[in-house]
Amino acid sequence: MTLKLYFHPLSNFCQKALVALYESAVDFTPEFIDLGNEDDRARLGAVWPMVKFPVLVDEARGETVPEATIIVEYLNDRYPAATPLIPADKDAARRVRLADRFYDLHVNQHMFGVVSDRLKPAERKDPAGVEEAKAKLRGTYEFADREMANREWAAGSDFSMADCAAAPTLYYANRIVPFGEYPNLAAYFDRLTKRPSFARVFEEAAPYRHMFPAA
């Protein structure tokens, strides 16, 4: 196999890349990385000095591709899925990229604000900051719920890169602030969980899910 993915199954950005790989049905070698293990950090640092995952290495092409969104773009260009993850039409592609950024930057940012606080020692916790992050997360839910009123997938009628981003991020966000009261968003997430690519990623992450910091 010429493709290698350096990743951890619990990371939502790694899951985003995995969903795209499974959608593309391309063979790859998984390279498990535990950032708490110095040997693993060294292996990752040897391919990407920023020591952040996911990183895709395409040995046949001599390419090292870091960052989940760039990995999906690369797969779309070099190993396309049956339905392109980024459409050829420029306006449709822009909508996909906007939805991708919404889930990666806005939903994820507020979700991670709460998660990171849970990892802090007691003297450094920020209850007011946590409540602010939760309020902002609810604001993203309201926006997404309106957007999904007449859409099957995040950016329209076809599954895309935006859905690769949304699936894992919404799973974790729902554990922080449940979104059951937002019917369109909840129905969308239900469709995501039934997508074979994400169902596979979700199953593969099961042995590590206990590591997610509980409230």
In this prediction, residue 189 carries a pLDDT of 98
Length of the chain: 215
Judged against a pLDDT cut of 80, whether residue 175 lies above it is answered with yes
In this prediction, residue 146 carries a pLDDT of 98
CA distance 115 to 11: 12
Question: Over the stretch 61-117, which tens digit does the pLDDT of each residue have?
Answer: 999 999 999 999 999 999 998 889 999 999 999 999 999 999 999 999 999 999 999
Q: What is the residue extent of each domain of the chain?
A: 3-78, 90-195
Instruction: Report whether the peptide linkage leading into residue 9 is cis, meaning its omega lies within 30 degrees of zero.
Output: no
Average pLDDT, whole number, for the chain?
96
In this prediction, residue 145 carries a pLDDT of 98
Domains 3-78 and 90-195 share a fold: no
Q: Which CATH architecture has domain 90-195?
A: Up-down Bundle (1.20)
Residue 45 CB partners (closer than 8 Å, separation 6+): 51
CA distance 31 to 62: 17
CB atoms within 10 A of CB 209: 12
Question: Kind and range of the H or E element at 176?
Answer: helix 161-176
**Which of 45-49, 122-126, 211-215 shows the lowest per-residue confidence on average (mean pLDDT)?**
211-215
CA distance 141 to 185: 7
CA distance 178 to 154: 19
Candidates 76, 63, 81; CA nearest to 2 is 63
In this prediction, residue 215 carries a pLDDT of 67
In this prediction, residue 1 carries a pLDDT of 60
In this prediction, residue 125 carries a pLDDT of 94
Between 215 and 35, the higher pLDDT residue: 35
Tokens of 173: 């966000």
| Domain range 3-78, its CATH number among 2.40.180.10, 1.10.150.120, 3.30.70.1380, 3.40.30.10 | 3.40.30.10
Question: Over the stretch 18-66, which tens digit does the pLDDT of each residue have?
Answer: 999 999 999 999 999 999 999 999 999 999 999 999 999 999 999 999 9
